[in-house]
Structure 1
Amino acid sequence: MQTVLSLLPALMSLAFVSSITPGPNNIMLMNSGVRFGLRRTAAHLAGVSIGFCILLAAAALGLGALIAAWPAAAAIASAACALYLLWLAVRMLEPPPTAAAPDARLRPMRFVDAVLFQWVNPKAWSMAASGATLMAQLEWSIVPRTALLVVVFGAINLPCIFSWALLGAQLRRHLARPRVRLLFSVTMAGLLLATALWMIEPYAPPHQHVGTDGTLAIGR
C-alpha cells in the first residue's frame, strides 16, 4: 500500500492535468465568460466545482464501481451530454439578441443545472474514477480517504476552471465587432460538436468493409 506522501504528488498532477485541459465544462465556462462576463458566470462556476466534488465523493464511496457494473450507464450519460452540447452548439450559431429582439432563453447556466450536468459529463466521471482508483492504494479507511481526495481535487480544480471563465471574460472586450464574434461563435460551436462526437464515438457500431484480398474487415 502507498503512503500519503508518495501518493499526493501523483494525485495533484492528475487533478491539475485533468482539470486544466479542454472539456465540456471548460468550453462552456469560457463561452459563458464571453457572453455574460465573469460575475454572471459565478453561479455556473460554483455549480461545476461543487457538483464535481459531490460526484467525486460518490465515486470514491462506491458509486463508481456500481455504475461500472452497468455498461449501459456510460452510454446513456454520454448520449445525454452529447445531445446537450449539440443543442448549445446550435444556440451559439443563432444571431445574438438585441434590445429590439431580446431572447429570454439567453442566460447563464444556473447553479443547480451545472451541478446536475456533472452526472452526465463523461470527462467528470473519468476524472472521478481515476482519482478514486489512485486513492484506493492508500492504507486508510474509505471516509478519510474520500475526504482527502475531495479536498485535494477540489482545491486544484476550482482555480483551473476559473481560469477558463476568466479567459472568456477577457476575450469579451475583443469580440465587439460582428465578424470577430461570428468567427468565435463558429469556432466554439465546432469545438462543442467535436466534443459531442468524441463522446459518442466509442459507442458507435463498428462498420464493415471488404479488403483488397476479398476478406471482410470490421472496424470503426
Structure 2
Amino acid sequence: MATSSPRYRQIEEYLLDRITRGDYPVHHQIPPEEQLARDFGVSRMTANKAIRELVHQGYLVRQPGLGTFVTDRKAESSLLDVHNIAEEVRARGHAYTCDVIRCEAIQADDEVALRLGVRLDAQVFHTVLAHREDGRPIQLENRYVNPRWVPDYLATDFSRHTPNEVLVAACPISNIEHIVEAVTADPQTAAWLEIDTRLPCLRMTRRTWSGDHLISYARLTHPGDRYKLRSSLSKSSSP
C-alpha cells in the first residue's frame, strides 16, 4: 500500500512548482506561514518546516519583519569557510562536472613565489579547472600548490576529485585568507567561462594554511550573473 508524502512535503512541492513555473518569480513574496497552514489544513509548525527546507535549498530567503521571498538561485559560497564546490552544487540538486584545463609542474614567477612563500623559480604544482553546474561554468579555479606539503597533487584525477578534497585529505586546513574583488575577464578566462568579456566577474584570491605551512594559493573567478558570495557572523554573548 502506497503511503502519502509528509504534509510539509506537499507544501514544499506546491511552492517549488509555483517557483519553477514562474508563478512566483524572483523577489516574489510567498504566502505567509499562517495562510499556508490554513490552505493545507496543517499546523503552522508544519508550514514553517516546508519553508525552512526551501530556504536551505536556496529557493527562498527570509527577510525579518517583511516575509519570505523567492531568491535568484545563483550559486553561492561562504566567505568564511572553504567548501568542496562539487558538494555545494550537488546540495542544490544540480549536476557537477569539471573541465581539467591545466595540470602541470611549473617554475614559480614573482607573483606565485610571493603569494605561496617559495623561492623564485622553485617548482610548484599548477592546475586550472572550470567547474560546471548543470553544464554551465560557474568558477574558473587557477591554483598553485607547494609540492613539499602535497607531493601527490598532480596524480589526482580532477574530473573525479576536486582540489579541495585533495588538500583537506593531505593537509587539514587550519587558516584561510580571502580577498574579493570585481574584475573583467581577459579573453582566455572569458572563453573558459563561456561568457562575454564585458560581463563583470567576482574574483576571490584564496590562500590556505595547514598549521604553519602555506600550502595553496588560488584565484577563483566567477561570472557575476551566476555566482554570489556570502558572509555570516554570529554575535557573541560576551561583551
Which of the two has greater strand per residue? 2
Fold agreement, TM-score > 0.5: no
Higher relative contact order (CA 8 A, sep 6+): 1
**Higher Rg:** 2
Interval containing the TM-score (normalised by the shorter chain): under 0.3
TM-score, with normalisation over the residues of structure 2? 0.22
Which of the two has greater helix per residue? 1
